[in-house]
Chains A and B, each alone.
Chain A
Amino acid sequence: GENVEQHPSTLSVQEGDSAVIKCTYSDSASNYFPWYKQELGKRPQLIIDIRSNVGEKKDQRIAVTLNKTAKHFSLHITETQPEDSAVYFCAAGGTDKLIFGTGTRLQVFP
């Protein structure tokens, strides 16, 4: 069945460093790749997304890259801050339904 793998499961960085989270997907029909951030005790919130006709998208300190040939996409956070600490989920979707990765717990230490 459709599957999304996400790595690493935990990531610890020093404030100011960069963080990278990687995902691979199995369904070649997927054409939409969102990323969600879930702070402790809160709902997942969409932070950035990319569609299959685009290779890279940036929004201030966060960026996402997509390699459709290899079926993988990545989230890049630069100049990390303590408030970036959260669980991040990648997802891949085709016609409306999203399949989620297992999540990455990012901890940013001051």
Chain B
Amino acid sequence: DVKVTQSSRYLVKRTGEKVFLECVQDMDHENMFWYRQDPGLGLRLIYFSYDVKMKEKGDIPEGYSVSREKKERFSLILESASTNQTSMYLCASSSSGGTYGYTFGSGTRLTVV
């Protein structure tokens, strides 16, 4: 019963390409998040959204943008992919109203060559 789905498990893109990472949740959660996971650095917040068409910068937003046109879908966009964006990207969602645990997607391992 997968509840947070990331469209790609593995992705290889060329430097300079525009990259879209898609995330869909079926739990009617208000909050959605994009993290990147790198060895020794843990999970770092890129962007998050509390509602449709709303977005907030996280700790490392540079080089990324997001789109949330529908409640269930949160897209991460790499405007011009660079090799330092090679990483594991994790999407998560949660209910609003006072800190509940996240449900994570399976992750997308992106390699930029």
Q: Could you tell me which A residues sit within 8 Å of B by CB distance?
A: 1, 6, 9, 31-32, 34, 36, 42-46, 49, 51, 89, 93-103
Contact = CB atoms under 8 A, between A and B. Distances in A.
Contacts of A36: 102, 104
B45 interface: yes
A75 to B, nearest CB: 14
Interface in B46-84: 48, 50, 59
Nearest to A98: B102
A98 B31 CA distance: 11
Interface size class of B (residues with CB under 8 A): 20 to 34
Given A42-B106, A43-B104, A96 B41 contact: no
Contacts of B99: 31-32, 51, 93-96, 98
Contacts of A43: 90, 104-107
B43 A9 contact: no
B16 to A, nearest CB: 29
Closest 5 CB pairs of A and B: A32-B99, A102-B42, A46-B101, A100-B43, A43-B104
Interface in B15-32: 31
Given A42-B106, A43-B104, A93-B99, A103 B42 contact: yes
Contacts of B31: 96
Interface string B82-113: 00000000100010101111101111000000
B42 A100 contact: yes
A95 B31 CA distance: 11
A2 to B, nearest CB: 8
B102 A102 contact: no
8 contacts: A36-B104, A43-B104, A43-B106, A44-B43, A45-B104, A96-B50, A100-B35, A102-B40
Contacts of A96: 31, 50, 94, 96, 98-99
